[in-house]
């Protein structure tokens, strides 16, 4: 059954989660080539683009809880894709050489993901949807 035909089609919770599940599936397909989840991949790209970034800043950019960021960082450390250093009480996160090497492939995954959802939704509608969702998320943030 289509989401628009569901008994709960006018419920924000239901429709937002249905959309999120479908987007997650597309994203997982795109990032499978680098054997990373989308969250791990975006975190790694952020660290490559901003070496020495602190976990609190990563959490803000990725809109995730600090405890989730810690788990993601630990997994990427296990894969030898990034390293953490301590300067006093401050933690900084840096990409490893192996992590840096992945950047072109990560960008390819981003482009593939964009191409896939744009092909399904249309480029203009995709851009409007992303902007609208972002504005709505900002309004709902407590």
User: pLDDT by residue (tens digit) across 30-63?
Assistant: 999 999 999 999 999 999 999 999 999 999 999 9
CATH, residue 49: 1.10.10.10
57 in a structural domain: yes
The answer to whether residue 15 sits within a structural domain is: no
Residue 83 lies in a domain: yes
**pLDDT tens-place string over residues 77-132:** 999 999 999 989 999 999 999 999 999 999 999 999 999 999 999 999 999 999 99
Report the largest interatomic distance among the alpha carbons of the chain, rounded to a whole angstrom: 56
Tell me which residue range forms the domain holding 115: 26-137
* Residue 100: inside a domain: yes
Q: Let me know if residue 14 belongs to a domain.
A: no
What is the reported pLDDT for 119?
96
Distance set, CA 111 to CA 37, 83, 93, 126, 137 (Å): 15, 26, 25, 14, 24
Q: Residue 142: is its pLDDT beyond 70?
A: no
What sections of 63-102 are H helices per DSSP?
Answer: 66-78, 97-101
d(CA 100, CA 82) in angstroms, rounded, equals: 9
Q: How many domains does the chain have?
A: 1
What is the reported pTM? Answer: 0.90
């Amino acid at each position: 059954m289509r989401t628009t035909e569901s008994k709960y089609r006018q419920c924000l919770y239901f429709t937002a989660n249905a959309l999120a599940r479908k987007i997650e599936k597309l994203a997982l397909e795109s990032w499978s080539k680098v054997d990373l989840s989308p969250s791990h991949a975006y975190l790694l790209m952020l660290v490559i683009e901003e070496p020495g970034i602190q976990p609190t800043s990563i959490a803000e950019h990725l809109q995730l809880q600090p405890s989730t960021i810690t788990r993601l960082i630990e997994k990427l450390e296990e894969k030898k894709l990034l390293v953490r250093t301590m300067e006093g009480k401050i933690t900084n996160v840096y990409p490893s050489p192996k992590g840096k090497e992945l950047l072109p492939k990560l960008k390819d995954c981003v482009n593939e993901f964009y191409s896939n959802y744009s092909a399904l939704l249309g480029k203009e509608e995709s851009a409007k949807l992303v902007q609208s969702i972002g504005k709505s998320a900002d309004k709902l943030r407590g």
